[in-house]
Structure 1
């Protein structure tokens, strides 16, 4: 099923004088902006460096079932525009329940709540330290003093405390690992005020069949040119010139939706250069470096895990060994096949991404599964490991709340340049950055801003999530 007209026009009449637009990047933000503008009468061309649509959304079928290798979840699915869009297309949502979760180790099974109860000393100390760190940083900011406290600054001394029982330190390591996974960065990069992984809680859902269904819907009717990376953008009061591998493109406006890593590493050049304040803001926003969330997805000949549970956890053997495939989720109810997905995060994820072969990654993941379900794990029939950090067109998973950054940096990044260059993507959002719905909202906001500027009209919202 496809959605209908996304036009922002108060009427359906199109003005021939509307400026031409080049959208750089065919991910969620770029396609949403392009579709809204195209359906509103703007001549739109989309260029994409990859040989596929979606960017950091990638629904893969190589395991014999659809699996999202990039963005997977709809966070806060009970109040999320992506849920509305899925309903409009008839895409079912599989709720990943916040049921009681269990830690598995050498045939022993412990309820997560029981482990937390037993680790009360560590949780109490960590709660005091984290709360104190947040209050201290906020006080210093009110006093006009700069402080840059990371999650690691506060929590690592506790994780190394030998007076704490081993279980307490392992449970705290699991909590820190969850933060490193949801935020997509090691603890020393995460600002203390944003350490708590909110997206891990609440109502979360997976679109059955994958996000590609939404990507394909957004791309309907668009002029999209794949395998055409842009290396240089020149702009002045007359318009925009984009230098691509296939030649020059001349347009009135450009919407730039490339991942932040491309801008941070200067893979896309501007003439004249972006101003120093914007460059500094982009550099402060967390993205890439050693920040990445890695996924491993395995297909097995049969299900060996309990059928009545979705999530399976393994306590890190030690705080230093956290982030190595300790959280697993069954995708059987989503993909209709015996699939398990696990996550690696923090420095472990960056090391696997850059330095390990697929065989080494698979062995590390299977070792954890064998620790959880000893003697029960058959050899997988197929396997995928994501490498977003090594991907030259991503250079990371998603943006995160870096030490020293602030929402003002994201606002500065999103600000248009001379009403010729516009920026969109999850990294431009001050709320829910790092999510697919942040990318959607940024694309919509950018399209509406262009529409207001060049038509003088207030947009009417007809998109399928409205």
Structure 2
């Protein structure tokens, strides 16, 4: 969910609707001559990685590549949260409950409305600011750990926003050497545009004000839809209703699971409910990979059948093309009275009725009246920050039982577009292969850019690969599309 890097993906409900609407539409880019020369998926991938025997190379060498590896990021340890088997949304509420009015938690994993999204993180920052204000008087020192969207939002609300009259002394510490957390925009060398390593979309603009905030920060966006074209195993374009039956079967299986006693994995519910028996199994596998695993950062074998699919954003989405990280800097510029310290990872948080003591990894001691922890769920699960006294049983259970999903991107840049396909989203039926879902993220950019996703266990496996291996496999996947005349 997403994306991101929370928020990397589009709303599942919206994508399902668009699948049923078909994948026709006008192109956003200039079309060039078809590149081809490979007769099968395997030949296309082999030629892309070893050099094509055709007079035309199926896919040109990229001018740059940006890849993410969120599972190995020590300040994230994953992409965004999800509900695994046995988990319920109440765990998110439990994690966001204050402890002794001294220790507070925020972040996308604590938001019940839109977890796994930028606007969910923002909502959690607004919620925790309200909780702190309800527990305090005036002139207190507040320490916020984490300068992502949740932490920056809380800092704004407490220092310059709704509670500015409280005269709080707000300090914000961040482990990274930059603001933004899982908002992470970089500029590849020699290129004029951003690569969004983390969040890429503004979701559900009808139901939240994030798009307004993004535009206030003068960050460019373009409308984006999820019309997709699907390539079959034999190299033929599949009909636009190819995923309708598996989508219906999975939705019915999830509804069936909610009527059962104990929770079970979504994959088990799909099998046990019987709704998928008459569905083409290749189509079902493709749906579960591209529309479930790549959506939630976890496979159907890990997701709660009862609750997981209930989460997700709905509404119109915008693709960010002007550097999402600029939103973090925009928020920071609005809190001039806040003491912001980067490159300050926290090792321990101690709290008692008299206040809070925070010890950094360099053994520096920081004192405050109250503390707000906004680090990602994966960091809490890893135990990188210790708490004294230990967290309540409810909080620790929430940390242990929620899931931290994995979704990674490979972003490839090319001199010019070399494809003809007009759909903004491409997928290929290729069981056992990575890089099956692609987005043309070129619209609105000065550079030609294609982005591919991997989620769940596949992403974790490819996190161990070298850049050369990742690029070769990604080009091989692209060559399959080009061999089919895309």
| Pairing 1:268–2:381 present | no
Q: TM-score, normalised by structure 2?
A: 0.64
Report the more deviating stretch, 26-35 or 150-159.
150-159
Q: CA 1:275 to 1:372, structure 2 compared with 1: closer, same or farther past 3 Å?
A: same
Deviation at 1:75, TM superposition (A): 1.5
**Is 1:43 equivalent to 2:169 in the alignment?**
yes
The structural deviation recorded for 1:136 is: 4.2
Q: Which residue of 1 aligns with 2:355?
A: 239
Superposed displacement of residue 157, structure 1: 7.7
Equivalent of residue 225 in structure 1, options 335, 341, 363: 341
- Cα deviation for residue 201 of structure 1 reads 6.2
CA positional deviation for 1:25: 0.5
Give the deviation of 1:105 after TM superposition. Answer: 6.5
SS at match of 1:228: coil
Deviations 1:192-244 (A, max 9, x none): 13454874864211223121121111111232111110000111111111001
CA contact (8 A) 1:206 1:334 kept: no
Work out whether 1:297 is the aligned partner of 2:411. Answer: yes
- Tell me the distance in 2 between the aligned counterparts of 1:198 and 1:92: 27
Give the conservation status (yes or no) of the 8 Å contact 1:76–1:199: no
Match of 1:49, SS state, is coil
* SS of equivalent residue, structure 2 residue 435: strand
**Among 26, 31, 36, which residue is 2:152 paired with?**
31
TM-score calculated relative to the size of structure 1 = 0.66
Q: Which residue of 2 aligns with 1:153?
A: 268
CA pair 283-225 structure 1, distance change in 2 beyond 3 A: same
**Count of matched residue pairs:** 341
Q: 1:182 aligns with which of 272, 295, 302?
A: 295
Q: 1:313 to 1:179 in 2, by over 3 A?
A: same
Counterpart Cα distance in 1 of 2:137 and 2:311: 46
Matched ranges for 1:46-445 at <5 A: 46-62=172-188, 64=191, 65-99=193-227, 101-103=229-231, 108-113=236-241, 115-116=242-243, 120=245, 126-127=249-250, 131-140=252-261, 147-155=262-270, 168-177=280-289, 178-196=291-309, 199=312, 202-220=315-333, 221=336, 222-246=338-362, 247-287=364-404, 291-306=405-420, 308-315=422-429, 317-318=430-431, 321=432, 324-353=434-463, 355-374=464-483
Larger mean CA deviation between 256-265 and 130-139 belongs to 130-139
Please tell me whether the aligned partners of residues 182 and 199 of structure 1 are also in contact (alpha carbons under 8 angstroms).
no
In 2, Cα distance between the equivalents of 1:239 and 1:21?
10
Counterpart Cα distance in 1 of 2:399 and 2:349: 17
Supply the RMSD in Å over aligned alpha carbons: 3.0
Specify the alignment match of 1:396 in structure 2.
Answer: none
Structure 1 residue 79: Cα displacement: 2.8
1:197–1:364 distance in 2 versus 1, CA, 3 Å: farther
Q: Residues of 2 paired with 1:76 and 1:362: CA distance? A: 33
**Highest RCO, 1 vs 2 (Cα 8 Å, sep ≥ 6):** 2
Measure, in 2, the Cα distance between the counterparts of 1:59 and 1:197. Answer: 30
Contact 2:202 2:211 survives alignment (8 Å): yes
Aligned-partner SS, 2:293: helix
Unaligned runs of 5+ in 2: 1-125, 131-135
Q: Which moved more, 1:24-33 or 1:261-270?
A: 261-270
Unaligned runs of 5+ in 1: 1-5, 10-14, 141-146, 378-466
In structure 1, the residue matched to 2:67 is none
Does the 8 Å contact 2:247/2:287 carry over to 1?
Answer: no
User: CA 1:373–1:358 in 2, change beyond 3 Å: closer, same or farther?
Assistant: same
Per-residue displacement from partner, 1:9-32 (whole Å, max 9, x unpaired)?
A: 9xxxxx994211111011100011
Partner SS, residue 234 of structure 1? strand
Distance 2:270 2:253 in 1: 11
CA distance in 2, matches of 1:46, 1:198: 30
